[in-house]
Amino acid sequence: MTAETAQKFEALEAQARRLMAVFRAAGYEHVAPSIIQPAGLFLDVVGESLRARTYVFTDPDGEELCLRPDLTVPTCRLHLERHADGNVPARYCYNGSAFRFQPGGVTHAHPREFRQAGIESFAAADREEADASVLALIVGALREAGLAELQLRIGDLGLFTALLDALAMPERWRRRLRHQFWRPEAFRAELARLTSSEALQVQGLPRAIADRLDPGNPLEAQGLVEAYLDQTGVELIGTRTSAEIAERLIAEAADARETPLAPDKAALIESYTAVRAPAREAAARLAALTRPHKVDLAAPLAAFSRRLDLLQAAGVDTANAAFSAEFGRNLEYYTGFVFELVAPQLGARSPVAGGGRYDSLLANVGAPGDVPAVGSCIHTERLLAMLEGRAT
C-alpha cells in the first residue's frame, strides 16, 4: 500500500466513523451484511442497468454468486434472517464496499470498488414520516461531515403507479409500463404499441394459430406453440425456452383481443412523465394536468405534499428542491419516493447520496408479502473528494 493509498484509507475510515456515529445516535443498529451474495437474487431485483454491471462468478460447487453491487438487498436478507415475515420494525446502518463495472471507464468519481455508508428502515407504519426521517438524517450526516452545499432532486414512482391504476387498461399493460419506466425510449415505444391495433397483433405466428391461443388456458396454449415450433423446425433463440416463448406469445394473443389504449390516455401518461418543476409546485402542476381527464390523484398528491412539509420541518430545504416525474434512479426495486443529493462540483451523474422507498423488495427477497421500507446511502469516496477539493 502506497503512502497516498494509506492516507486515503485512513481519511475514509475517519469519515465513516463520523457518519456512523450520526446514524447510531438516531437509533440505527450497525450491521455488516455479507459481501458475497447469491447472484440470481440480485439479477432478478436490481434491474437491467445494474444487472449488466454486476460482477458474477461461479464457485467450485457450481453456485452462481456475485459481489454485492449495493448494500440494500444484503440488508434486506439480513433482516429476513432475523424476522422471516419482515414486518417487524427495524432500522439498520452500515458502511462497506460495493462493486460495479463502470462501462464508461473507471474514474475518480466512478471506481469499480467503492464504499457506501447508509441506512435502511423497515416496517415503519407512517410512510411519509419515514421517508422524511431517512432523507433528513442523510442530509444531517452530510452536514456533520462538512458538506453544506447540496441540491435535492426528487421523484415519486408511487404517483406514477397511481396514475396507471386510475386509467382503464389490463393489469399486464400496467406491469409492462412500470417495467419500462427506467428506459425512456423503450417506455415510449411500448406506450405507442398499446395504442395501435396493428402493433397489438401476435408477431411470429400464423393468424390461425394465434387465434387459438387461449390466455385462460396457458398449458394448452403452450402445447400449441411448442407443436408449431416443432413442426416448422424453428430453433430456440439464445437462452429462451419454449415455455418462455409460449408465455410471450400468449400475452401477445391476449393483447390482440384488447381494445387499444385510447390516444388521450397515452398522451396523458406521456405528458405526466415530461413534468419537471420545483418540488413545491409539482403537486399543483400534476393536479392541473390530470383534472381534465377526471383522474383523481388527490390521495397520493396529498401524501407528496405532506412529505415535503415533514422534510421542511426536519430542516431539509424543499424550496430549492427539483421534481422530475420520470426520475426513478437506476435501481428498479424502487416503488415510491426517490431522491438524490447532488454536489454542484460533481453534477447529477455523480450524486453524493441517494435513496428511496422500496415496499416490494422484501417480498422479492423472501418475505411472504410487501413490507414498507425506505433507505439511503452516501457514496463516501465522492464525499471525501468533495471535502478535500478533489472533485472532478
* CA separation, residue 25 to residues 61, 93, 125, 232, 376 (Å): 43, 11, 21, 67, 17
* CA separation, residue 169 to residues 175, 255, 262 (Å): 11, 11, 10
Q: What is the pTM of this model?
A: 0.90
Q: How many CB atoms lie within 10 A of CB 239?
A: 6
CB 257 within 8 A of CB 250: no
Exposed (0-12), middle (13-18) or buried (19+): which is 23, by Cβ within 10 Å?
buried
Q: Which residue has the cell 447469491?
A: 38
CA-wise closest residue to 380 among 37, 59, 7, 114 = 114
User: Is residue 130 included in any domain, yes or no?
Assistant: yes
pLDDT at 115: 94
Residues 21 and 155 in one domain: yes
Extended beta strands in the chain, E state: 29-30, 36-38, 56-58, 64-67, 90-99, 113-122, 151-156, 276-278, 322-324, 337-342, 353-357, 373-379
User: Cα–Cα distance between 331 and 373 in angstroms, integer?
Assistant: 15
User: Cα–Cα distance between 135 and 205 in angstroms, integer?
Assistant: 51
What is the number of structural domains in the chain? Answer: 2
Residues 80 and 109 in one domain: yes
What is the length of the chain?
392
User: Cα–Cα distance between 328 and 262 in angstroms, integer?
Assistant: 26
Residues 158 and 217 in one domain: no
Residues 156 and 218 in one domain: no
For 70-82, the pLDDT digits (tens) are 999 999 999 999 9
Cell reading at 59: 464457485
User: Is residue 136 included in any domain, yes or no?
Assistant: yes
Residue 260 Cα to chain centre, angstroms: 28
CA-wise closest residue to 50 among 183, 154, 151, 176 = 183
pLDDT at 232: 72
For 235-273, the pLDDT digits (tens) are 555 556 666 777 777 777 788 888 999 999 999 999 999
User: Cα–Cα distance between 306 and 161 in angstroms, integer?
Assistant: 18
Residues 298 and 159 in one domain: yes
Supply the CATH number for residue 12's domain: 3.30.930.10
Residues 157 and 299 in one domain: yes
What domain range is 48 assigned to?
3-163+275-387
Residues 211 and 357 in one domain: no
CA-wise closest residue to 269 among 185, 169, 189, 160 = 160
pLDDT at 109: 76
CB 128 within 8 A of CB 318: no
Calculated CA dihedral for residues 39, 48, 52, 189, nearest 10 degrees: 150
CA angle 344, 346, 348 (to 5 degrees): 80
Given its phi and psi angles, is residue 279 left (phi above 0), alpha (psi -120 to 50 degrees) or beta?
alpha
Q: Can you give the pLDDT of all 392 residues of the chain as single tens digits?
A: 687 778 888 999 999 999 999 999 999 999 999 999 999 988 889 888 888 899 999 999 999 999 999 999 999 999 999 999 999 999 999 999 999 999 888 887 788 999 999 999 999 999 999 999 999 999 999 999 999 889 999 999 999 999 999 999 999 999 999 999 999 999 999 999 999 988 888 676 677 676 777 777 777 777 877 777 777 765 555 556 666 777 777 777 788 888 999 999 999 999 999 999 999 999 999 999 999 999 999 999 999 999 999 999 999 999 999 999 999 998 999 999 999 999 988 888 899 999 999 999 999 999 999 999 999 999 999 999 888 876 65
Give the number of C-alpha atoms closer than 13 A to the C-alpha of residue 318, restricted to the C-beta side: 23
Helix (H) or strand (E) segment spanning residue 190: helix 184-194
- In degrees and rounded to multiples of 5, residue 122 shows phi and psi of -115, 140
Cell reading at 279: 418540488
Q: How many CB atoms lie within 10 A of CB 317?
A: 12
CB 328 within 8 A of CB 157: yes
Residues 252 and 303 in one domain: no
Residue 25: helix, strand or coil by DSSP?
Answer: helix
User: Is residue 312 included in any domain, yes or no?
Assistant: yes
User: Is residue 143 included in any domain, yes or no?
Assistant: yes
User: Is residue 178 included in any domain, yes or no?
Assistant: no
Residues 32 and 68 in one domain: yes
pLDDT at 242: 65
DSSP 242-294: HHHHHHHHHHHHHHHTSPPPPHHHHHHHHHHHT-EEEHHHHHHHHHHHHGGGT
User: Is residue 358 included in any domain, yes or no?
Assistant: yes
Residues 39 and 94 in one domain: yes
Residues 36 and 99 in one domain: yes
Residues 155 and 301 in one domain: yes
User: Is residue 230 included in any domain, yes or no?
Assistant: yes
User: Is residue 55 included in any domain, yes or no?
Assistant: yes
User: Cα–Cα distance between 162 and 243 in angstroms, integer?
Assistant: 32
User: Cα–Cα distance between 262 and 277 in angstroms, integer?
Assistant: 27
Helix (H) or strand (E) segment spanning residue 305: helix 298-313
